[in-house]
Structure formats: C-alpha cells, structure tokens
A and B are shown apart, each in its own frame.
Chain A
C-alpha cells in the first residue's frame, strides 16, 4: 500500500509515463457504508471493486476479494461518489486542491481555448494529473448596451444575431465542447438558436439569464446564480427606494428585492420546465457576515496560507480569495453603512428562501463554485454544500447537488454521479456520515480518482507539464488602474492645484501619486479621481502622475471600459504615467540668456 501511494505521489508530482497508466489495477474498497445518492439509503458493509478507472461491481460484504487487488479498508467509514463541481475556471495549479477535497470531476465553464483542451486530453491520457475535466464554449454574450463601461474579458464571444450564434455553435461543436455557457446579453432569439444546436448534440445550455422566464421559454437547462430568478420576481418599488438610500456606485444585487409572495409561482415554473438551479451561495455572498460568522474565511486562510506546500498557488489568488470575504461591491464591509450591510444580508436570506422553496418543490439543485476565478478549488464545494443545507435543503439534496444532479445536467448520468456498476471509479471515503451532518463531507479519509488511490497530500514541487499560457487574472482581483488623462496638464509654480484624473480601474481605495508623493485622493467613480497637490510640490519641471490601487490581490486588467488591447499594458497595482508640467512664473528673469556669449 505504501509503495503504491509513493508511486502515486510520484505520478502526481512529475507526471506519468505511459506504462503506469495502462496498468489494469484492481482496487477493492470494503467495509464502508455506501451512501446511495439516488435515494439516501445507506448500504452497510459495501464492497466496491474498481478496475482501471471504472466500477465493475457494487455489492454487500461476503464476496471473495479478487487476486492482485489492492484492498482499501473502509470499516466504519462512509463512501460517496467522487464530487462534481459543475462551474470552475481551471488553472494549472488547481489539480491537487480539487482531488484532495474529493472533487474528482470538474466542468470548466470559462473558455474553449487550446490550453483547456490540452489539459482535458492530458488528464484523460493520464499524462497530466487532475480531476476529470470537461469544458464548455467561450462565454457567449450579446453586444453590450454601453461599450464604454462593458466588462471586457478574453473568451467572451460577442454574437450579433441568431445566424452568427448558429455558426458559432457549429464551430464549438466541431471542437467537442461538453456544455454551452451563455451570458445575459443574448436575446431570446439568439438563445433559441443556441438551444436548438445544443440539443442536436445533447449538451446542456447553462448560464446567466436576464430573467429565468426567458430561460424557461427558450428551453435552456441550467441557471447560474439566483439573479435570474430574482429579476423575475423583483419588487421594483423596494429597489427604487433602497437605491436612494445607498451611496453612488453601490449596486445591491437583485436578490435583495425579491417579492417573496411570488416565489411559489416562479419555483413552480422552474420545476415544471425541468430547470436546474445553481445558487452559488458561496460565491455570491462571500462578503456577507453570514459566511464570516461561520468562520469560512479562517478555513480558506488555514488551507492557503498556513500550508506552505501550497506555495505554488499564486499569491495574488490567495490574497484575492481572502479579500473577497471582506468586500461588498467595491467597499470593505466595515466602510459601508449599517443599512447597506443589512440590505446585502437581506439578499442572502432571500436567496436562502429561494433555495428552500426550490428544493421543497422537488427542484434539482446543482453545485458550481466558480473556483478558481474566485473561491478555493475543492474546499469551496464543501462550503457550498453546507450553505445549501443552512438554507433549508436536506443533506441528501445537498449531496445530490454535487453528484447525481450535475451528472444528469451534463447528460453523463450513465457514467458519473453515483456508486453503481459501470460508472466512474471515483470514490470519496469519509470518516463520518454526511447524511447526519453535511459538514462531514470534509472529513476525508481517502480519495480514489479514476481507480487510483491518492495520497491526499500537497506537494510543494507540483508542476503542471503544460502551464497555462495566458495571464493569471480574474475580475475578483483589484483592477490594475490606467490613466487616460490628467487635467490640468500644466500649472503655474507655487499655487496648489486639484488634479482630475480620468482612466479605468479606479476603486474607493485608489490614490494618486505626484512625483512619487501620495496625494489626498477622492473617488468619484471607477473612471475618475480627484487629488490635491499642495503648493510645495509644484516646482518648475515635468512630473509623473500615477494611480495606485492596494498592493494586495492586484492585477486584473478586466476593468470596465478597458479595451481588448489593454491586456498588453498595465498589470500591477500602479498605473501608467501621465506627465504634468509646472510652468515658470513671472518675476525676475535670469540675469543673462543661458547661452549668451561673454563669460561662459
């Protein structure tokens, strides 16, 4: 067993060579209680036999142990199918975090580019360590209403009309995507064409919608976040009144203004149309007091900062994850008024009501965390399940959200999502029953991924053989600021001045520097700051003005108003320079022209 595990470590640390992969190892797990996620039954003393990366038999105790098999003793433990995270943004450092948390299947819903395909292929052939990886299309979206404040990101594929949507879908299907990811800028007609094309190859359409009724009308399949539902039952008056009481730039999410009386009706529609719902409780409410009260931020900290074997996880990500626990909109929660904080929390409690109503009505929840654009791979899925149960779902329903439901939504129920013969050889062995307490999903004794027993460790020298080929970025980082203009461009020496700085990526915590000196700065909005330059700084010459954002979780160039070439520019917390000139005032001239003849 030990040699086996050491070999597995070697596999994970440096990548495999082919001979190893092809070995038809047999693994037998016996003595544990099998959790049947289809109905919540516990099958005591189960025996699961894995061959290669499949389950070949599931039975009760009493059968003979096949020859040459590795035996995993699970006496007193509980067996779950490997967990599925249906909404990830896979990074080249994500593998160990998912696998060690029992997340053995992930679906990347961010991009369709060459790197993700190379990872999917490499994992499939065993040359790259990682969970089973599926991926969707690029994010399909409609043309922005206001291009100057659109959130530009690479791999957002903007479509003009249904014809273009159809053509794009055909291309993606040739590239063998497993799902379609949509954004709420698409019109209903475009969505319809997309759904039609997706149905032809039996892949789901999942994403953001302006309104869940649109999703229902076009026959889409998976709803990400509760916003689409909230928009369908929005209490507009409450929203208008609230907006008068909050500061400029504070945008409370739609969930804060749900008309709960209309909840049963909308839930009914969703269940009738067979829509799956991913409430993304962990991601959407990361800045709310509820998650801090549960101590989630300490869990993340303990994993990401205290375990230095995870030093290969980029620092910017680790800091950004911790930052998000403190942030509501652009502000640290403590800088907001009690009204604003309570308003946000109300969105959370409304979301909980929706989750409960949906689960009670027989709706199918699925878990997708958005890791690792934000949220920690692996850990966040367990946190999500806990939040679903807090909202009112039963532990079984939560478990289904990470097993059988996503498998169904992905049309992969025949090979994933439960411990049954013929399905994937992905098993999570827990020390305690998750049906009694959902938090027991975290008490992991062993993870078996694709028929291989993992050592459950992190390795400081972990390296992905094919590193990700573009910038490590996320809209959850503090933006990298850029300056477009500073006015006035020239001032007279000796008098103080107020500079107006225009650009992108400004936040309430940005500050302006003039010739290296920090200035008192006021935030107007994401595109404008004003700063006071005191008179003593204004000596004749030309000086650089820069904007700085906190040197903490910095680097996103995906700010509103950015263009598609800005990824070539600023990446750090400091903007480009804009130079301001200080002119010479009148008064006594120099005594002679500096190049005058006579004495040199």
Chain B
C-alpha cells in the first residue's frame, strides 16, 4: 500500500497539464491506420499522449525507458473511433469508452454543460471520450422553439450572425443548425461560423440548397430524398404524418445522381444515421435488439442508465416514430417503409461510389446506446454496399474531417492523438469484428473497460433529462364539457392538450375509461353512466405509456417545461351537478 502511494506520489511530481502517462509501445499488430491505405504490420510508439512514431516492421522500435509494452501480434490496430453525432448525458461516458469510441461530437446540448464536460474530460478529471461540442442548436422561431440552455431560437434574421458569434465566443467547436432556418439566416450563420473556422452541420429539407449555402455536414438523408422530388411532391401530403423518414419512400431515383453531384461539388459530407431506421433491422433479423437488450438489462452496474431511456432504445425497434407501431401496419405500408430504407441505402452507396464521404454519427444517447450504436452503424453502412474500409473511414478519418479536426485526429499518424483501438479479429474481413475489442487507449493510456455502479460525471447535466424519442408527458389544457348532470347516460369528453399518443388513456374515479386518439392535441374519452352517479368535483387525468419524459412538445410554451414530467398529466376537474 505504501509503495503504491509512493509510486503515485512520484508520478505526481514534475507534472504539467498533460495526463500522467508512461510511453506506450503497441507492437507487432496489423495496423489499419485510417488513411484508407492498405493495412501493414508494424509498431506504434505513443508518448505524452501523441503518436510519436510508426514503424512499418514488427519489432523495429525499441521501447524507451519506463514504456508500457502491449503485444498486438495477431491483432488489428485502428484509430480510436469517433461518433460524430451524439447528445451526451450524465451516463454516457463509460459506455463510449467501453466500446472504443474515444472521441464524440455533441451536436445539441446545454452549451455551458457541454463545455464544462469537455474541459473536465480534457483535464483528466471526468471520465469520458474527448468531446467536440456544438452546445445549443440554432433554430428559427416557431412554436416549441423557446430559448433554453440547449436551444437558440433566432428571433430576428438580421441578428442570426450575431447570435452565432456569441455562441462561438462561449467556446463551441461546431455550429448545429435546424431545417426551419431560412436561407438568409443560414447564409449569415455560415459566414459567422466560417470566419471562426467552425463547421456548420445540420438538418435540412433540401440537401441541394444546404450544400450551396455552405453546410459542411448534412445530417440524415431526408434532405437528399426531398431534393430529388422538390417541386413535384408536397412533403406535407405524404402518408404517416409525423414520420419524417417516409420521404425516402418517394425519392425520385432518376434525379439522385444530380443531387449527389451538388453535394460533391461543394465538398459536403453526409451522415445517413442508418441506425435510426430501427425497425428494418428488426425486420432483417440483424440481432441489434438482442444486443442492446443484453447490454442494457443484463448489467446490474448499468442500472444507472435511466429506465425510460433503456426502454426507449428497445421500444424504437417496434415503432416508426412515436405514433406508429409497426405491428399495426398493413403489409402494403410495411413494404412502403422498406422501400424507403432501400432508397436510403442507395443514396449512401451512390454517394460514396462518386467519391463522397460519409461521417458516422448515431444520435446516441437521445436514441441508441452510446458506443454500441456506432458499431451497429458501421455494420449498416456495409449493408449498403460500402466496403468495410469505407465504413471504418466513416468512423475515423472522415468524421475528423467533417469536424475540422483532422490535423489532430482520425488516423494513426505521427503527431496525432494516441487514441488506439486494438481488435481481436480483422474488421476488414467482417465489419462486425469491430466489436471484438482487446484494448482501448486514449492519449496513450489504457481504458479499463467495464461499468461501475458509482460512475459519475461530477458535473451533472443542468437541463431536464429529455429526448424527442421518449413519449411526451401529456398536458391537459381544456376539457368539454366541464360539467355534467348526475345520472346522465354515457358522456363523451373532448380533452385538449399536448403530447397525446394513440395509446394515451384517460382515468376517472380510479378507472381507465375508453379513450380515442384524434390527434396529438385531442382525445375523446367516454365516461360511462355508472361513474356519473355521484355529485361533486372529480379529476380527469391522461396517462401515456412508458418510456416517458419529454416535455419538448410541439407548440409547447416556455411554461410547459415546468409542468408534468411523468407518465400522468395534470388533472382537469369535472363537475357533476345535481339533477
């Protein structure tokens, strides 16, 4: 014990801001360096957190004094993985590191918290992957888009550039935009971001326009699909309102090449987020559901992941967005959705064939399990027809490039961060081998892979646990009639509010009553005559099924975030009058 203390004490002396690390020599592995070039046998020396040297021959490097030596013979050595689209939560850190994801780009979170986490991790005081952050997302003013720590709602188009400059001044690395911004606003935003050397990444309803306006990365392929049929189809009139991905089912394939060419001409990167198409993978029996379930529910230590998130991740395999349960779809509709997924795959394959670059981002942990989701995403990229090498590039070099961080990250080259992933089997022969992890190193220090029940981010997220992928907490704002007479027959109540689902149910006098879904703002509930025999004033509440938790409601106002957060709504009181 005393020796351990002495050892630690010695390490403490003569120390600067860099993490304490002895030199690391990874020898005799098959190096897939992330440049896209062919793999080779070799040694890697990492010192002071950076790659010092790479020798293209086994055993060529002699270890410096005090170096730790890792024998990687028969194993495969890659750059640490990069998930370029995450939403970091208090409980994300261990999961990313366990799965070899040593860098993440948080594209939408409370600005100050993202920065506090990034700094804490850089200082070695908080456990987690390296972070590049966008902080708050930038959106246009619309119902539900009220200013919060995680959202900037641009009120005046003329101030768009100024608002973004203020955001950049706080220290964000990326600017994340939403599709409701006008072209004028986007232009100003891109101008401000470029002046500061920050890339603009975001959603769009028209990939062609986004490319021309200066997006560096386009999230999801919706904008590509919509660009192919722009002017010919009205997206608002497509089936499955609320399920945005349906646009892929109506993609005009004949116009795809010219749309993709515009992206290429402007050097735009594309993140297809294939894993977000949860249901098709269940349909094709890829085993993702079982994988997520095993990880999230078999590890007692991982009980710190909020139950609603764990349920939401599994739940998504059975839904198209929150309102459509797949097993309630007609066969024709299922085929329509499958066609859409196949079109998304075509977009990816054709884009890469033409020389385009994909960056792999999963949207974890708003949805998707941190870390594991990236491996699933790479597998889905190969399903599109990409080579395993291309899938690996999307999670290493191309991700670093889209973030403007390729000088320090993304490949195994001298001068870059010593983030290394060592696998037991060759990912180029089977992409699923990325899951067979032997070692994970971040800046030359090995990550002890495992989950601890006491895992803590020290600085907890300062905004409510929230995600559009959780069922909304329902809110009741009006009820008609407000009064009925005792002894009347069945009465149909019209309930108005926010966050209703096809599976919302109303309760009255301790009983669940027949509830009909009209829309996300209206329900009809039938009070049976037998419950209307008592005079008085009684509460009606609406309950949504778990996983619940979001109050991020369409048309919600700033004050609705103070309202109900659980599965049950606020009560509305019915008067039962004397006859």
Contact = CB atoms under 8 A, between A and B. Distances in A.
B49 to A, nearest CB: 11
B411 to A, nearest CB: 22
B575 A595 contact: no
B537 A469 contact: yes
B8 interface: yes
B482 A114 contact: yes
Given A563-B559, A565-B560, A579 B462 contact: yes
Interface stretch (A165-173, A238-246, A586-594): A586-594
B459 A582 contact: yes
B528 interface: no
Contacts of A599: 4
A581 B462 contact: yes
A568 B112 CA distance: 28
Interface string B563-578: 1100000100111111
Nearest to B110: A489
A469 B127 contact: no
Interface residues of A, number: 55
A114 B575 contact: yes
A537 to B, nearest CB: 15
Contacts of B123: 584, 586, 589
Contacts of A598: 446, 448
Contact of A581 (B113, B535, B576): B113
A595 B97 contact: yes
B120 interface: yes
A556 to B, nearest CB: 15
A469 B558 contact: no
A330 interface: no
A569 B561 CA distance: 8
Contact of B119 (A583, A592, A596, A597): A583
Interface of A is mostly: loop
Contacts of B450: 600
Interface in B453-470: 458-463
Given A562-B559, A584-B120, A541 B458 contact: yes
Interface string B419-455: 0000000000000000000000010011110100000
Interface in A535-581: 540-542, 562-566, 568-570, 576, 578-581
Interface string B113-150: 10110011001111100000000000000000001010
Nearest to B462: A579
A465 interface: yes
B15 interface: yes
A219 interface: no
A465 B486 CA distance: 12
Contacts of A596: 445-448
B149 A565 contact: no
B559 A467 contact: no
B125 A589 contact: yes
Contacts of B11: 591-592
A583 B573 contact: no
A15 to B, nearest CB: 9
Contact of A591 (B8, B482, B564): B8
Contacts of B560: 565, 568
Interface in A95-132: 113-115, 117-118, 121-122, 125, 127-128
B12 interface: yes
B169 to A, nearest CB: 13
A600 B12 contact: no
Contacts of A145: none
A575 to B, nearest CB: 9
A480 to B, nearest CB: 10
Contacts of B483: 114-115, 117-118
Nearest to A583: B116
B477 interface: yes
Contacts of A465: 535-536, 578
Contacts of B564: 568
Nearest to A469: B573
A117 B573 CA distance: 15
Given A562-B559, A565-B559, A595-B127, A118 B575 contact: yes
B254 interface: no
B482 A469 contact: yes
B291 to A, nearest CB: 22
B447 A597 contact: yes
B182 interface: no
A125 B120 contact: no
A39 interface: no
B163 interface: no
A595 B447 contact: yes
A569 B482 contact: no
Nearest to A115: B575
A240 B316 CA distance: 64
B535 to A, nearest CB: 6
Contacts of A593: 19, 124, 127, 442, 445, 447
Given A489-B112, A583-B120, A583-B459, A570 B562 contact: yes
Interface in A42-94: none
A269 interface: no
B48 to A, nearest CB: 14
Interface string B1-29: 00010001001100101011000000000
Contact of A469 (B17, B110, B575): B575
B183 interface: no
B17 A589 contact: yes
Contacts of B448: 595-598, 600
Contacts of B120: 540, 583-584
A598 to B, nearest CB: 7
B557 A565 contact: yes
A581 B475 contact: no
A468 interface: yes
B562 A482 contact: yes
A265 interface: no
A579 B4 CA distance: 39
A335 interface: no
Contacts of A470: 573
A490 interface: yes
Given A469-B574, A470-B573, A566 B12 contact: no
A484 interface: yes
Interface in B261-304: none
Contacts of B573: 469-470
A562 B19 CA distance: 50
Task: Choose among A563, A568, A593, A598 the residue with the greatest number of B CB atoms under 10 Å from its CB.
Answer: A593
A118 B564 CA distance: 29
B112 A563 contact: no
Contacts of A468: 537
B173 interface: no
B481 interface: yes
Given A542-B462, A600-B448, A569 B563 contact: yes
Contacts of A594: 124, 127
Contact of B536 (A117, A467, A565, A592): A467
A466 interface: yes
A466 B475 contact: no
Contacts of B12: 588, 591
A488 B116 CA distance: 13
A541 B459 contact: yes
A465 B577 CA distance: 9
Interface of B: 4, 8, 11-12, 15, 17, 19-20, 94, 97, 110-113, 115-116, 119-120, 123-127, 147, 149, 442, 445-448, 450, 458-463, 475, 477, 481-483, 535-537, 556-560, 562-564, 570, 573-578
Given A118-B578, A565-B475, 7 more contacts: A115-B537, A125-B578, A469-B573, A582-B459, A584-B120, A589-B15, A591-B11
Nearest first, the 4 closest Cβ-Cβ pairs linking A and B are A469-B573, A569-B562, A114-B483, A579-B462
18 contacts: A114-B482, A122-B577, A125-B578, A469-B573, A540-B120, A542-B460, A565-B557, A568-B475, A568-B560, A568-B570, A569-B563, A579-B462, A586-B17, A589-B15, A589-B124, A591-B11, A595-B127, A598-B446
